[in-house]
Chain A
C-alpha cells in the first residue's frame, strides 16, 4: 500500500520538479517574458554606459593629441589647450567612474585612471633617473589622470616655469616621455573597455542584458554592489571624508583631495554626482529612458515609501551642498570646513539609503553564501 502511494507520489513530484526545473533553466528567446528589469538593462547599456565610454574615448583621444602637441612644442597656447582637454576628460571620467563591473572591473579601469593622491615624489624620481616602468598594479599611483594633474599643473608655481620643465630643463626629454606614456596608457585602457562593450567588439552589452536576474553574478547584482561600494569608498571617503580627516583620527589631509594641483575637486565631484544621478535615472543628455528610478517605482508593490524620489532628492541635496563649497577644496578644508562637512553629511545619507532601502528593494545578494533569509 505504502509502496504504491510512495511510488505515485515520487512520480508526481518528479514530474512537477522536472517541469519547474525546465522553466528555470530554459532561457530560450520565445519563452522569455518581457520583465521590469530587462528594459532597464537595455536602456542603461545603450543610453548611459556605452555613450559614456564613447564620450570618454573621444575626449581621451583629443587629450592624447593635445599631449602630443604640447610635448612636441611646449608653449603657453599648447599648455592651455592641453589643460582644457584634461578637464573635459576628467569630467567625463567622473560620469563613468562608478561603473565598476564587466569590462571596467576586469580591466581595473578605476585604478588605472584615477588613483589619487598621486605619488609626485616617485614621479620626479622616475623622470630624473629616466628609468620608469609604468606597468603593474603597484605603479597606479604614478600614472592616470592624477599623475597628469601633477605633470601639467603641479610642477611649478607659474606656467612659464612649467613650460620650462618641458623645454629647457635638463630632464625635459624624460618628462615629455613620461607624460606621453601616461596619456597613452589610459587611452589604451579606455579603448579596450569601450570596445569590449560594443557589439562589434567584445559585445559585453549582450551579456549584460542577458544576465537579468538578481543573484551575485547578475548585472543588477554587480551594478548595485558596485554602486554602493563606490559611493562609500570613493565618492564619500576618497573625495571628501579622507581629506576631512574622517578616516585618519580626525587629522585633516588636504593634499588628498581629488585633482589637488588643478584645484578642480569640487567641479569634478559635481560632475561625478550628476553622472551618478543620470545613471540612476537612465538618462543621458536629452534622452531619458528607464533606469533604477523607474524600476523602483515599478517593483515596490503596495506601501510605497517614495524611495525612488527620496534617492533622487538626495542626489540633488548633495549637488546643492557642493554648490556652497568654495574651491579649492584643499583650502576650504583648512580654513572653513563647515560647508565641506555638510556635503559629506549628505553623501553619507545617500550611502545609507543605498545600503539599506535600495538594496532591500532590489533584493540583490552580496555573496554566494547560504542564508537563512535574515
Chain B
C-alpha cells in the first residue's frame, strides 16, 4: 500500500518538460478567444442575454443576475482579453483568474444555455489558475526572465485525467438500451442528412445508425486508454480528428470538436511537443533563439502539496458528480434529475410543449399561459422538457401575476413530452399546484413515471 502511494507521489512529481503545458495554454487561450469572438459576432449576447426577460438560474445560484447590456458586453470583453492574456502569457495569473470568473459567471446566468463543453471550459479554466503555464514561451517569461523549463508531471496529468473522464463518462452514458439496441436518437437524426450528396444515401440506412451508435460508444470508452499508451497514440489521435470533425459536420455542436481536438494534444509526449516546437521554429527560421531553455531546474509551487490535494479533491468530485444520477429513481432521460455536469451529450431527442393553467382563487376564473409570451424559442424548448425549469417558470409566472394584482393563484402545468420520437406523454402531474412546490435535491415526486411505448 505504501509502495503504491510512493509510486503515485513519485509519478506526480516526476519532472517533465514544460512544453506540453505551455502548448496547452496557448491553444486553450486561442480557441477561447475565437469562441468568444464567434459568440459575439453571431449576435448571441442579444438573443441569449439581453432579449429574454427571464433567466433560469442554477439551484443555489439565483444570486447570479444578468448585469444588463453594458455589463454583458463588458463581461465578454473581459473574457476575450483574458483569453488572449492566457494565450500570450501576459499577466497570466490575473488573466486566468479573470477568464475563469467571467466565463463561469456568464454560464451561471441561464441554465437553458447549459452546454457540456461550456462546463468543460469552466473546469479547465479553474485548473489553469493553478498552473505554472506561463514560465516559458510567454510575455511574462520574457519580461521577468524565467529560466524554468521543467515541471512536475502532475500538472499535465490532471488535464489528461479530466479529458479521460469526459470521454469515459460520455461513453458510459451511451451504454443504455435505447442507444445500443435501438440506435436512438441517431436513427432519427441521421436521415436529416439524406440530402447530402454521396454520403446522403447512407444516412437513411438503419445499419449506419447502429454503426455510428456502437462506434461512438466504443470510441468514447476506449480513446482515453489509447491516448495514454504511447504506441497507439498517433492512431488514437487520428481517431480523435475523424470523430470530432465528423460530429462537427453533422451536428450543430459549435466549438466543442475543436476544443477537444486541440486539448487532446496534451497526451503527446514532451519529446513530441519539443519536436513540434522545433519544427515550427524552423518554419520561421529562428534557429538562434530557443523557446525552451535546457536548464534542469524543476518548478515547485510554494505550497505544492496543497495544490496536489486540491487537484485530488477536484478529481474525486469529478468522478462522483456524474454518478449522482443513479441515486434518483426513474428513467434519467425522462426526469433529468442529475443529468447535467455528467458529460451526457447527444444522447436523446426530446421535445415538449407546456400549457400553464392558472386559477385565480379570489374570482374562481381560469385561464392559460404559454411560455412563448415570455421566453426565447431556445429557452422555451429547454424549459418544456426539464421538470426543474418548468417549476422555475411557474414560480416566475406566479410573481408576474402577483404584480398584476392576482395574489392568490394556483398554477398547474400540462406538459407533453416526446422522448426519442416516441408518443408524447405527460411529464409531470398536471394536478399539482406548482406554486406550492419548492425545488431541491430530493427526488421530485411530481414527475410522472415514463411509460415505455409498447
User: Considering the complex, which residues of chain B in the window 240-273 have a beta carbon less than 8 Å from any beta carbon of chain A?
Assistant: 241-242, 245-246, 249, 251-256, 268-269, 271-272
- Asked if B238 contacts A352 (CB within 8 A), the reply is no
- Asked if B254 contacts A370 (CB within 8 A), the reply is yes
Partner among A250, A251, A361, A373 whose Cβ is within 8 Å of the Cβ of B345: A373
- Asked if A352 contacts B416 (CB within 8 A), the reply is yes
Flag whether A23 is at the interface (Cβ < 8 A).
Answer: yes
One digit per residue, 1 when the CB lies within 8 angstroms of any chain B CB and 0 when it does not, for chain A 222-233 equals: 000000000011
- Interface SS of chain B: mixed
- Asked if B196 contacts A299 (CB within 8 A), the reply is no
Which residues of the partner chain B approach A213 to less than 8 Å between Cβ atoms? 192, 195
Partner among B242, B269, B355, B366 whose Cβ is within 8 Å of the Cβ of A250: B366
Known contacts A2-B268, A360-B188: A301-B115 contact under CB 8 Å: no
**Interface-facing stretch out of A28-36, A43-51, A84-92, A185-193:** A28-36
Flag whether A13 is at the interface (Cβ < 8 A).
Answer: yes
Which residues of the partner chain B approach A297 to less than 8 Å between Cβ atoms? none
Pick from A21, A241, A365, A367 the residue with the most CB of B within 10 Å: A367
Flag whether B206 is at the interface (Cβ < 8 A).
Answer: yes
Pick from A3, A348, A360 the residue with the most CB of B within 10 Å: A360
Which residues of the partner chain B approach A33 to less than 8 Å between Cβ atoms? 194-195, 197, 200-201
- Asked if A368 contacts B42 (CB within 8 A), the reply is yes
- Asked if B365 contacts A374 (CB within 8 A), the reply is no
- Asked if B253 contacts A370 (CB within 8 A), the reply is yes
Flag whether A112 is at the interface (Cβ < 8 A).
Answer: no
Smallest distance from the beta carbon of A39 to chain B beta carbons, Å?
12
Chain A residue nearest to B119 (CB atoms) is A372
One digit per residue, 1 when the CB lies within 8 angstroms of any chain B CB and 0 when it does not, for chain A 1-26 equals: 01101101100110011001101101
Complex Cα spacing A294 to B48, Å: 37
Complex Cα spacing A374 to B234, Å: 32
Flag whether B443 is at the interface (Cβ < 8 A).
Answer: no
Known contacts A12-B238, A352-B353: A249-B272 contact under CB 8 Å: no
One digit per residue, 1 when the CB lies within 8 angstroms of any chain A CB and 0 when it does not, for chain B 304-315 equals: 000000000000
Complex Cα spacing A14 to B153, Å: 32
Complex Cα spacing A24 to B200, Å: 9
Partner among B191, B346, B378 whose Cβ is within 8 Å of the Cβ of A373: B346
Which residues of the partner chain A approach B140 to less than 8 Å between Cβ atoms? none
Partner among B117, B199, B234, B351 whose Cβ is within 8 Å of the Cβ of A2: B234
Which residues of the partner chain A approach B237 to less than 8 Å between Cβ atoms? 6, 9
Smallest distance from the beta carbon of B98 to chain A beta carbons, Å?
23
Partner among A12, A241, A357 whose Cβ is within 8 Å of the Cβ of B418: A357
Which residues of the partner chain B approach A9 to less than 8 Å between Cβ atoms? 234-235, 237-238, 241
Give how many A residues have a beta carbon under 8 Å from the other chain's beta carbons: 65
- Asked if B198 contacts A369 (CB within 8 A), the reply is no
One digit per residue, 1 when the CB lies within 8 angstroms of any chain A CB and 0 when it does not, for chain B 326-361 equals: 000000000000000000011111111101001010
- Asked if A23 contacts B199 (CB within 8 A), the reply is yes
- Asked if B353 contacts A355 (CB within 8 A), the reply is yes
Which residues of the partner chain B approach A20 to less than 8 Å between Cβ atoms? 199, 245-246, 249
Pick from B182, B192, B378 the residue with the most CB of A within 10 Å: B192
Which residues of the partner chain A approach B424 to less than 8 Å between Cβ atoms? 352-353, 356-357
Flag whether A82 is at the interface (Cβ < 8 A).
Answer: no
Tell me the number of A-to-B contacts counted with CB atoms below 8 Å: 186
Known contacts A232-B370, A249-B367: A367-B378 contact under CB 8 Å: yes
Complex Cα spacing A2 to B116, Å: 32
- Asked if B275 contacts A36 (CB within 8 A), the reply is no
Which residues of the partner chain B approach A301 to less than 8 Å between Cβ atoms? 187-188, 191, 204, 206, 209
Chain B residue nearest to A5 (CB atoms) is B234
Chain A residue nearest to B339 (CB atoms) is A374
Complex Cα spacing A213 to B251, Å: 13
- Asked if A250 contacts B351 (CB within 8 A), the reply is no
- Asked if B351 contacts A355 (CB within 8 A), the reply is yes
Which residues of the partner chain B approach A299 to less than 8 Å between Cβ atoms? 191, 204
Flag whether B151 is at the interface (Cβ < 8 A).
Answer: no
One digit per residue, 1 when the CB lies within 8 angstroms of any chain B CB and 0 when it does not, for chain A 321-358 equals: 00000000000000000000000000010011101110
Which residues of the partner chain B approach A37 to less than 8 Å between Cβ atoms? 194-195
Flag whether A27 is at the interface (Cβ < 8 A).
Answer: yes
One digit per residue, 1 when the CB lies within 8 angstroms of any chain A CB and 0 when it does not, for chain B 171-194 equals: 000000000001001011101101
One digit per residue, 1 when the CB lies within 8 angstroms of any chain B CB and 0 when it does not, for chain A 241-256 equals: 1000111111100000
- Asked if A23 contacts B349 (CB within 8 A), the reply is no
- Asked if B353 contacts A356 (CB within 8 A), the reply is yes
- Asked if B197 contacts A363 (CB within 8 A), the reply is no
- Asked if B421 contacts A300 (CB within 8 A), the reply is yes
Flag whether A65 is at the interface (Cβ < 8 A).
Answer: no
- Asked if B44 contacts A369 (CB within 8 A), the reply is yes
Flag whether B440 is at the interface (Cβ < 8 A).
Answer: no
- Asked if A13 contacts B241 (CB within 8 A), the reply is yes
Flag whether A303 is at the interface (Cβ < 8 A).
Answer: yes
Known contacts A6-B272, A9-B237, A351-B353: A24-B368 contact under CB 8 Å: no
- Asked if B381 contacts A26 (CB within 8 A), the reply is no
Partner among B47, B192, B199, B249 whose Cβ is within 8 Å of the Cβ of A363: B192
B: contact size bracket: 35 or more
Flag whether B52 is at the interface (Cβ < 8 A).
Answer: no
Partner among A353, A356, A368 whose Cβ is within 8 Å of the Cβ of B252: A368
- Asked if B418 contacts A373 (CB within 8 A), the reply is no
Complex Cα spacing A366 to B252, Å: 12
- Asked if B360 contacts A250 (CB within 8 A), the reply is yes
Flag whether A302 is at the interface (Cβ < 8 A).
Answer: yes
Complex Cα spacing A17 to B271, Å: 28
Which residues of the partner chain A approach B347 to less than 8 Å between Cβ atoms? 373-374
Smallest distance from the beta carbon of B6 to chain A beta carbons, Å?
30
Which residues of the partner chain A approach B195 to less than 8 Å between Cβ atoms? 33, 35, 37-38, 212-213
Flag whether B91 is at the interface (Cβ < 8 A).
Answer: no
Smallest distance from the beta carbon of B289 to chain A beta carbons, Å?
21
Flag whether A167 is at the interface (Cβ < 8 A).
Answer: no
User: Considering the complex, which residues of chain B in the window 82-116 have a beta carbon less than 8 Å from any beta carbon of chain A?
Assistant: 114-116
Flag whether A359 is at the interface (Cβ < 8 A).
Answer: yes
Complex Cα spacing A309 to B206, Å: 23
Partner among B252, B276, B418, B453 whose Cβ is within 8 Å of the Cβ of A370: B252
- Asked if A374 contacts B348 (CB within 8 A), the reply is yes
One digit per residue, 1 when the CB lies within 8 angstroms of any chain A CB and 0 when it does not, for chain B 222-248 equals: 000000000000110110011001100
Flag whether B61 is at the interface (Cβ < 8 A).
Answer: no
User: Considering the complex, which residues of chain B in the window 56-91 have a beta carbon less than 8 Å from any beta carbon of chain A?
Assistant: none
Flag whether A214 is at the interface (Cβ < 8 A).
Answer: yes
Flag whether A131 is at the interface (Cβ < 8 A).
Answer: no
- Asked if B367 contacts A247 (CB within 8 A), the reply is yes
Chain A residue nearest to B241 (CB atoms) is A13
Residues of A in contact with B (beta carbons under 8 Å apart): 2-3, 5-6, 8-9, 12-13, 16-17, 20-21, 23-24, 26-28, 31-33, 35-38, 212-215, 232-233, 241, 245-251, 299-303, 305, 348, 351-353, 355-357, 359-361, 363, 365-374
A-B contact pairs, 11 of them (CB 8 A): A2-B269, A13-B245, A16-B242, A21-B249, A36-B191, A37-B195, A355-B351, A356-B351, A360-B418, A363-B192, A372-B116
Residues of B in contact with A (beta carbons under 8 Å apart): 42, 44, 47-48, 114-117, 182, 185, 187-189, 191-192, 194-201, 204, 206, 209, 234-235, 237-238, 241-242, 245-246, 249, 251-256, 268-269, 271-272, 275-276, 279, 345-353, 355, 358, 360, 363, 365-368, 370, 372, 376-378, 381, 385, 406, 416-418, 420-424, 453
Q: List the 6 shortest-distance A-B pairs measured between CB atoms, nearest first.
A: A370-B254, A250-B365, A373-B346, A5-B234, A356-B418, A355-B353
